[in-house]
Amino acid sequence: MTTIAERLQAVRARIAAAAHACGRDADEVTLVAVSKRQPLAAIEAAADCGQRHFGESYAQEGSDKIRELSGRGLIWHFVGPLQANKTRLVADHFDWVHSVDRLRIAERLSSARAPDHPPLQVLIQVKLSTEESKGGVSPEALPQLGEALSRLPHLRWRGLMTLPEADVELARARFAQLRRLMENLNARGFGLDTLSMGMSADLEAAIEEGAHLVRVGSAIFGERA
Ligand SMILES: *Cc1c(COP(=O)(O)O)cnc(C)c1O
């Protein structure tokens, strides 16, 4: 049986190889281990191998794990769909949110974030896929949402996230599109520095197209319960 330590090692090697292949420094890419529906012991095993960034998709489950593992110096990313009634839990426990797609959610996160915490680091999720199940704001509505979001006091807008189709070549085109959207926003004066794109099956394409955060679950932890 392959252990979490071995799979984590293999994912790190894939990241290093992909970065090398396109002339990027592997340090520019941060691995977020997506541990949704994985037990605490699996997260601890990864943390014991030096993994620091973890991603969760469910507010209650993620908050419970964060409480259990506090004191280990881990950094937590909320990557799932965000409901208005869960914004306080997320603002109280997480360091990053990748899935902001409307102003009402951003406003609630900002007002729930304790002023003595560092600002919540947020990404806007952009819908580039034509699949109904994959949410996000449209590219057309993105600048207006970003403008409003960047005025909220307890959030810091860092960049963009997308969830593409499963087909890797189609995904690559979406990743390139996300990068261009961030470049266009930066040309308008937004100082964005983070693209969250790429998962177990397509992290190489994402890194070649400029990813800074790759969100990898099954390739590290195996299949989810
Ligand atoms: C589950 C999940 C991942 C990880 O997916 P894998 O295919 O298991 O690597 C990445 N991003 C989001 C938003 C997810 O919900």
Mean pLDDT of 206-212: 98
- pLDDT above 70 covers a percentage of the chain that reads 100
In whole angstroms, give the CA distance from residue 212 to residue 59: 24
Residue 220 has pLDDT above 70, yes or no: yes
Which ligand 1 atom is at minimum distance from the Cα of 219? 9
- Sorted by sequence, the CB contacts under 8 Å of residue 115 that are 6+ apart come out as 154
In whole angstroms, give the CA distance from residue 197 to residue 223: 20
**What is the residue-averaged pLDDT of the chain?**
96
Name the pLDDT band for 1 (thresholds 50, 70, 90): low
DSSP E strand stretches across the chain: 30-34, 53-56, 75-78, 96-100, 120-125, 155-161, 194-196, 213-216
Residue 94 is encoded by which pair of tokens?
């997480």
Residue 116 is encoded by which pair of tokens?
């003595």
- pLDDT tens for 93-113 read 999 999 999 999 999 999 999
In whole angstroms, give the CA distance from residue 117 to residue 155: 11
Name the pLDDT band for 134 (thresholds 50, 70, 90): confident
CA of 76 to the centre of ligand 1 (A): 14
Mean pLDDT of 141-158: 98
CA of 198 to the centre of ligand 1 (A): 9
Tell which CATH classification among 3.30.2350.10, 2.40.30.10, 3.40.1280.10, 3.20.20.10 matches the domain 4-221: 3.20.20.10
Which ligand 1 atom is at minimum distance from the Cα of 200? 9
Mean pLDDT of 146-170: 96
| Residues near ligand 1 (Cβ within 6 A) | 34, 36, 57, 79-80, 163, 199-200, 215-219
Domain ranges of the chain: 4-221
Mean pLDDT of 109-129: 97
pTM of model > 0.95: yes
In whole angstroms, give the CA distance from residue 148 to residue 101: 12
